[in-house]
Amino acid sequence: MSPAAAWCAQHRLRFLLPSLFLAPVLFFLLSPPSSPPVFSLPASGEVPPSGSRLIWAQRRLVEWRPCEWWRTAPVQAPSRRNGYIRIDCYGGLNQLRRDLCDGIGVARLLNATMVLPKFEVAAYWNESSGFADVFDVEYFIEQTRGYVEVVKDLPAEIASKEPFKVDCSKRKGHFDYVESVLPALLEHQYISLTPAMNQRRDRNPSYAKASYCQGCYSALRLNKNVQSKAVELLQTIPKPFLSLHLRFEPDMVAYSRCAYTGLSSKSMDSIEAARGEGRKVLTGDAARLWRNRGKCPLTPSETAFILQALDIPTNTNIYLAAGDGLMELEGFTSIYKNIYTKSSLLAHEDFENMHGNTKAALDYYVSVNSDAYIATFFGNMDKMVTAMRTMQGLQKTLVLSRRAFANYTAAGLAGEQLAKAMWDAHREAYIRGRGSALPEYCFCEFKL
């Protein structure tokens, strides 16, 4: 080795080490500052910054995930069926889905061939739209194969007659379909029913439960036209964004029988018009007990207060998943100003020509695929959205606690004290996995 080469080898590290040390320092100093993402979650095992009150930054101890038992090979139904069953579904989109999901389990329980369901929406939407107008029929049939048999058409000898109607919808408590419905199925060979509202699905055999879970959470996909419009809507919303299902419509408030102060005269008149004779406002101890049980809808201004308590920035992009008729909305939009709705983002002609179920399907799709989802109520849509987000591993989901808000305000808390109390209550729910609110058997708790 030449003297020059030896000198270079001897002194190479002397120059290299300072360069290696200075490079990241210079990169840090010269790089533009970046703000943390609104919806960032800590990595597994990472501790959030001390004092952080952003709800999504809290490390969860428990998460809901789909159970494995129903996703494995299903128990095959006997080759001989007991007849045909059609599920008649009533109400809005997510109530229709609820009845359909129950009906899938009932069809398997009774070993019946399931005909495509009938959607009865005229009374709810004042229109006519069916299962195929919203959902992908072929996908539904394929995904339920092996769990329950589904057909589009009936045999000729049955297709000419109406199904024998079995009324289950108002049955309460323990309702036995095998005992009460199977005899009619065997006799008439073609029946229709609306599932009992309060049936105990947990008492069904595992093959009926598996069919319910598969049909409800893996087999219902929007059809191509609706999904295309939903994707178009999703792409127009600035990212990241939070989907908020805000409920404060006149009929809902009237149905709750709760009294409110500080609302505008217009809102009060709308509530009174929706109240009717049978929905008198509760008073005295009954009203206090009812409110403290969390039965009263949150107003938009109360919702904004809780979101601020959870440290959701006021410049957050928020998609408002809600129907028409929201009252007192300025109490929310005066604080959270980056608000987007389907009616503001879609072309007017497209929006006006949509069925009510199609519009609801857009809110559902956007909410399932949002960066975060918050509900002020836990109705049919919220149950379905939280379940589908859990199916996809999207855990930034929370249902606001009306009960906690009512109890703390009744105790006299306000301002910073109330905000701190609401933060503590929702943090506890979120880190323990209660933010997804999925108590049924299709989903299981996993400790992290």
| Residue 372 and residue 233 share a domain | yes
User: Could you tell me if residue 159 is inside a domain?
Assistant: yes
Give the pLDDT of residue 52: 65
In a domain, 58, yes or no: no
Residues 117 and 179 in one domain: yes
Residues 335 and 407 in one domain: yes
**How many domains does the chain fold into?**
2
Q: Would you call 407 exposed, middle or buried from its count of C-beta atoms within 10 A (0-12, 13-18, 19+)? A: middle
For residues 108 and 243, membership in a common domain is answered with no
> For residue 174, is it within any domain?
yes
Residue 237 falls within a domain, yes or no?
yes
Torsion angle, alpha carbons of 316, 319, 322, 327, to 10: 40
Largest CA distance in the chain: 106
Boundary (domain end) residue, out of 195, 217, 239: 217
Dihedral of CA 232/236/241/247: which sign?
negative
Domain boundary pick from 217, 233, 261: 217
In a domain, 53, yes or no: no
pLDDT for 297-337, tens place per residue?
999 999 999 999 999 999 999 999 987 789 999 999 999 99
Give me the domain span that covers residue 143. Answer: 84-217
Q: Give yes or no: residues 231 and 368 share one domain.
A: yes
Residues 229, 210, single domain; the answer is no
Q: What is the pLDDT of residues 112-139, one digit of tens each?
A: 999 999 988 765 555 667 899 899 999 9
Q: Do 307 and 193 sit in the same domain of this protein?
A: no
Closest by Cα among 231, 315, 325 to 274? 325
Let me know if residue 154 belongs to a domain. yes
Percent of the residues in the chain that have a pLDDT greater than 90, as a whole number: 63
Task: Give the β-pairing of 443-447 and 62-66.
Answer: antiparallel
Q: At residue 18, does pLDDT exceed 60?
A: no
> At residue 113, what is the residue type?
T
CATH of the domain at 432: 3.40.50
Same domain, 131 and 105: yes
CA dihedral 228, 346, 91, 244 (to 10 degrees): 100
Same structural domain for residues 155 and 235? no
| pLDDT, tens only, 166-209 | 988 777 666 789 988 999 999 999 999 988 876 777 788 999 99
Task: Name the token pair of 166.
Answer: 């079995």
435: in domain = yes
Same domain, 242 and 369: yes
Give a yes or no: residue 22 inside a domain: no
